[in-house]
Amino acid sequence: MSIEQRLERWGRYMQTAADFGLGYPRRTVLHRCIVEGPAASAPTKKDSEPVPAEIEAVEAALNRVPPRDKRLAILIYAQKKDVPSLRRYYRVSREIMDDMIARMHNRVESEIYEPSSSPTA
């Protein structure tokens, strides 16, 4: 599986799992009542699902790359920003944007397969 496919899967998981810091439950009250019946109790710890291993590996790798690379991965794969709008945001040419994305891919891929012992700054 290519690094781009891994980041795409990570981004989709982050979109579905994100509560944006607001603390919303993963399941709504209506969903809980449909699944568990009208006597459904308050949410418990069993509602939280473990993070898949491949997602956890990508997240760990992103935590070890420089913050600018992690921010770029979040913008592209989790927030689904397109490359032209990112070029305007960073105020760079197409070639520089392509280099930034390639550098981020290379760093994340190297951290997945050969993790370093400490995060880079």
Rg over CA atoms, the chain: 18
DSSP states along 42-77 = S--GGGSPPPPHHHHHHHHHHHHS-HHHHHHHIIII
* Domain map (residue ranges) of the chain: 3-113
Phi, psi of 41 (to 5 degrees): -90, 180
Q: Rounded distance, CA 117 to CA 106, Å?
A: 17
pLDDT score of 115: 76
Q: Does pLDDT of 46 surpass 60? A: no
Residues contacting 67, CB < 8 A, separation 6+: 121
pLDDT score of 16: 75
pLDDT score of 120: 53
pLDDT in tens, 18-35: 655 455 555 666 766 777
Closest to 54 (Cα-Cα) out of 120, 108, 117, 93: 108
pLDDT in tens, 58-111: 999 999 999 999 999 999 999 999 999 999 999 999 999 999 999 999 999 999
Q: Does pLDDT of 56 surpass 80? A: yes
